Amino acid sequence: MPATLGSRSGGAEPDVARPAGDQRADVRHRTVLQVAKLVTERGDELCILRNVSAGGLRAEVYCHLSVGDRVQLELRTGRGMRGRVVWTSGSSIGVEFDRKVPILSYLAHQAMQELGRRVRAPRVRIGEPGILRVPEGDFPADIVDASQGGMRLRTNRALSPGGTCKVVAEGLGERGALVRWCRDGQIGLQLKRPLCFHEFAQWRSKEKSLRTGVH
């Protein structure tokens, strides 16, 4: 399950999306369900945007954040919004933007871009050891970055594009993948079955707990 942030804390500005059930929610908020990249001082993660407005948003996260933390959120088109956490409630956070942004226009533009072509899924830095599994055996690899649909590995094992392999990582298990490219000691993999958000969250939460020694 995603890591929780504890009980609700902090206050929210009038134009910042509030926890579900809060009757003060601004009527200008738009409910969405979109995965975005969350950049914090402790690293990159994914999040789900739940409610958005020109002044802020509510997002579901799996990493620990506190009121006052600075964050940046990036959409699939690369559009970014900077702000600070103004409240936390369970696995949800409220973010107030540094300045008002036309986020609904950003989302509409993204939807138009996605028509007829693929838009790259949000990708985060991982820096975690893994195993590259091929018919010849298991080989050590470093997972450089990953999205819900694929990952980039650093390894001295060359593979041919179009081939298949498996990648193994703590908290992720064994995943089948297609080799998309191989160059300069790195390979790009497309997962045969993309990770849903909560699978990605469980993997990242497990990896972080092992790294810090927290269980």
> In order of start, what are the domains of the chain with their CATH numbers?
30-114 (2.40.10.220), 124-212 (2.40.10.220)
- Looking at this protein, which amino acid is placed at residue 119? V
Please determine, for residue 27, whether its predicted confidence score (pLDDT) is greater than 50: no
CB atoms under 10 Å from CB of 161, counted, come to 12
| Residue with the larger pLDDT of the pair 212 and 173 | 173
How sure is the predictor about 215, in pLDDT bands with cuts at 50, 70 and 90? very low
How sure is the predictor about 17, in pLDDT bands with cuts at 50, 70 and 90? low
- Rounded distance between C-alpha atoms, residue 17 and residue 155, angstroms: 43
Predicted pLDDT of residue 6: 38
Predicted pLDDT of residue 18: 57
Note the pLDDT tens digit of each residue in 109-152: 665 555 555 667 899 999 999 999 999 999 999 999 999 999 99
Quote the mean pLDDT of the chain. 84
- Rounded distance between C-alpha atoms, residue 176 and residue 193, angstroms: 8
How sure is the predictor about 36, in pLDDT bands with cuts at 50, 70 and 90? very high
CB atoms under 10 Å from CB of 21, counted, come to 7
CB 203 within 8 A of CB 181: no
Closest of 29, 34, 37, 33 to residue 12, by C-alpha: 29
Predicted pLDDT of residue 207: 64
